[in-house]
Chain A
Amino acid sequence: MRYPPGDLAIWIFILAELVVFAAFFAAYAFTRMNNVELFNEFQQQLDQRAALINTLALITSSYFVVRAVSAIREDNRRHCVVWLLAALAMGALFLIVKMGEYQHHFIVEGVSLSTNTFYMFYISLTFFHFMHVIMGMVILAAVVVMAAKGKYSAAEHTGVETGASYWHMVDLLWLIIFPLVYVMR
């Protein structure tokens, strides 16, 4: 196989997204160099348990998407739809937990982008990713509708692979955000 699964256009888009996030990650790490105590202090105020739940939710949803792609390759449309719906449920769990975190920081603690440099990075990085999760869920929902209508088969399932590739990218980004923002100090 010479090309990755799915539409090649989504891969160009994925690469562009990955480059933007890589710059973000590097900016976070190098800015931290001059604000180590501040970053360490406020990092400890983040909800580690929520971050763990969110990481498990995204990894699990990615696994469900892999199973959905396998199902459609075996021409099992019903299983494909079921796995995709399960992946969407995990995505929804991620959003709910993340909104709970934001609610605590924004409303209870009164944090904003201008509170300090750490929160500026925390909010912008995680919210940018949050928007990607929503985008990924919209794409997966569209794939579910098409799959339920019988538009995909073992012979033609580029749409499922395209949506899957985008969703795995969302997972991949969080796999770096989680240790970088919540754990490494």
Chain B
Amino acid sequence: MSSSRATRGPTARTPNDLWQAARAQLRARGLWPLPDEAFQGVEGRLAGALPPVEASPRFREALAANLDLLAQHRRSGVIVKAEAGSRRGALVGLGIASLAAAAALVTLVVYLSRGVSRHPAQTG
């Protein structure tokens, strides 16, 4: 056994050694996933860099009171909806304005067409 090892020499590599070396090369090039241990250092640093942020007591209490009020309204059958926002109002306004503009345009066209049809009779 020892003689056979001697004939292979000190630089002889087993298939496992070759696989380890090949995998290391692939990992260095991002072609093979890194072991979980590779990320422990990064994860350790991240854990301390993203601390939780607490809400202010004033905000917490105010929101709790508002939620309680909403809950009581819902309980009593009053439906409280969140503010619809300006977008819906703008859309409704735009729709009404479009209808008004269309009506004005139709009126103008009808008025002008009548004026044109009367004009030859007045001159003749």
Bound pair (A, B): no
Q: B residues touching A (Cβ–Cβ < 8 Å)? A: none
Q: A residues touching B (Cβ–Cβ < 8 Å)? A: none
